[in-house]
Structure 1
Amino acid sequence: MSPVASVSLSESNGLSFVNIENAFASAKISLFGGHVLSFIPAADNKERLWVSPHAYLNGERPIRGGIPICWPWFANDHGRDDGELPSHGFLRTQVWKLVNSTEDSKGTTVELAPSFTRAEGFEYDCSVSLRVHVGENLQVSLETENTGVIPFSFNTALHTYFHVENIKHTELKGISGDYKDKLDDWAVKPTPAPYTIDAETDRIHLSAVKQTTIAVDDKDFTEVLSQGNDSLVVWNPWQSAASISDMDPFGYNHMVCVESSVTKGLELAPGEKAELVQTVRPIT
């Protein structure tokens, strides 16, 4: 299949990339992991995603930054001891294929499919597809369909790393309710107001937050819209970044993860589909 005019393919260090450039924006997707790496709207030419300068872009490890895909479990919630199965599942470490590409007056859409969806820890018949639309907004849609004869449950997330100029001057708007604090033995706490980050943060917000705004220096910068989620995850490693081999010790200053997530277990009956969608809307 030949891609449409706004789509090109490239290779580097053994990895293949899908590059999208149209009148609205440019974007880059790694076929290793089905991983969106960049979204730069033409309106202000400012990158909305963050990728670690020390990320492994050679297929040796999952890519640190951009939009990693967590599926069919989130973190180590796979029912085994930690380390027995890969964290965040097995889609983010396999090579995906470009299935289709289209373009119209609203932008460019590409569809990707993973090499396999059945592996140790998840041995069910299903199909997964990823659609990435690049227009005035970036929309990422992950669809799971039960193609088998028995129901199954799974968790998933679009683990998006957003670029910010300074995390100390960043505020998250639109999040309310309680969250589970992974750093405090999963204690349930109320969402802070105003929502700023001044220390290591790893929280699962328990409500299906649909709209979050990332503001920097009191100016709204990026809006995050979520569909099909039952929770929202917020993460920043703060000074623990120094112990993460593929992250700059000071990289935490320029990123925050706001993740559209399914963490409570979603059951699909035979023939059913579920779609997790995250839309990144630049505010210019």
Structure 2
Amino acid sequence: MPTVNSVTVSEANGLTFLNINNEKASAKVSLFGGHILSFIPKGDNKERLWVSPHAYLNGERPIRGGIPICWPWFGDDHGREKGTLPSHGYLRTQMWKLAHSEDTVDGTKIELQPSFTRAEGFEFDCKVTLIIEVGNELSLSLITENTGVVPFDYNCALHTYFHVDHIENTRLKGIDGDYKDKVDDFKVKATPVPYVIDSETDRIHLNPIAHATIEVNDQDVTRVDSVGNDSLVVWNPWQGAASISDMDAFGYKHMLCVESAITQGKTLSPGEQHMLTQRVIPQ
């Protein structure tokens, strides 16, 4: 696994990690799941991502926190009975490989590829690549290419868990339009103003929001840019966290998921590719 100077490799509990450290930021990536676990800009040295202290970091389960990769479906939207196929697809529970790494003027760039893309529930020929760029900002691009001879449909998401000092002092800006409320039987509702989180929240905002910001105490600001999405998902389990086995009962106070997603279906013709990008930009 050849790497550039800014990338070192470590192992723990049977998993392999890529540790990125350059002049602009540090980051940590698990090859199990192609999963980013940490992003700390050197400017303020604040961790921008949240990982549960009870997360499974041994390959037994998907990792709770960081940035899970949801593909080729989002949630249980796979057309089968709930529970018959893994939630959010199967890329987040397989080993990925490092295909390329390079140091650039903007920081560090790596390319990862999963072990396989064809499995029960998605039996089409395609290639998936995850490009991660670590610098003053964190950029992820999930590229899906149809390498077969028939079209296929899929959904996906960059399911980012952001660290916040306290959810009750957090608000979102830049999000508008209608959303599906998964907590209330998928009813379609208007985005609240101001956008605060004060109860269990699981919303699929049904438009391609390009710029959103997370503000804590009106000072600590993280901008979330999305390209190639048709939705933006906002999730916090609130007190329901107590029923999640790999999450602390009070963990909801320090995290907020803002996810760049395709939830309304994307069709790729043979030879066509699509890129879903999320940029995490400290302000």
Matched, 1:83 2:83: yes
Aligned to 1:113: 113
Alignment partner of 1:31 is 2:10:
no
Query: What is the match of residue 152 of structure 1?
Result: 152
1:141 matches 2:141: yes
What TM-score does the superposition give when structure 1 sets the normalisation length? 0.99
Tell me if 1:164 matches 2:164.
yes
Distance 1:202 1:219 in 2: 25
One-letter amino acid matched to 1:12: A
Report the equivalent of 1:182. 182
In structure 1, give the amino acid aligned to 2:185.
Answer: D
Shift of 1:220: 4.4
Rounded to whole Å, the distance in 1 between the matches of 2:43 and 2:111 is 25
> What is aligned with 2:250?
250
Aligned 8 A contact 1:213 1:220 in 2: no
Q: CA offsets per residue over residues 67-115 of structure 1, 9 Å max, x none?
A: 0000000000000001000000000000000011001211100000000
Residue type of the partner of 1:231?
Answer: S
Q: Which residue of 1 aligns with 2:45?
A: 45
Show structure 1 runs of 5+ residues with no match.
none
Whole-Å separation in 2 of the counterparts to 1:77 and 1:172: 26
Give the residue type in structure 1 aligned to 2:190: P
Residue 92 of structure 1 aligns to a residue in which SS?
helix
Q: Secondary structure at the match of 1:168?
A: helix
Structure 1 residue 274: Cα displacement: 0.2
Alignment partner, residue 11 of structure 2:
11
Matched to 1:123, the amino acid is: E
Is residue 230 of structure 1 aligned with residue 230 of structure 2?
yes
User: How far apart, CA to CA, are the structure 2 residues paired with 1:128 and 1:207?
Assistant: 24
1:175 Cα deviation after fit: 0.1
1:222-255 per-residue CA deviation (whole Å, 9 max, x = no partner) reads 0000000000000000000000000000000000
| One-letter amino acid of the counterpart of residue 38, structure 2 | S
Tell me how large the CA RMSD over aligned residues is.
0.5
Quick one: percent identity of the two aligned structures?
A: 68
Write the deviation string for residues 13-63 of structure 1: whole angstroms up to 9, x where unpaired. Answer: 000001100000000000000000000000000000000000000000000
> Which amino acid is the alignment partner of residue 197 of structure 1?
I
Give TM-score, length-normalised by structure 2. 0.99
2:212 match: 212
Runs of 4+ in 1 over 2 A off after TM superposition: none
Structure 2 Cα separation of the partners of residues 127 and 202 of structure 1: 30
Q: Structure 2 counterpart of 1:200, which letter?
A: E
**CA-CA distance at 1:221 after TM superposition:** 1.5
Amino acid of the structure 2 residue aligned with 1:189: K
Contact 1:111-1:129 at 8 Å conserved across structures: yes
CA distance in 2, matches of 1:36, 1:276: 16
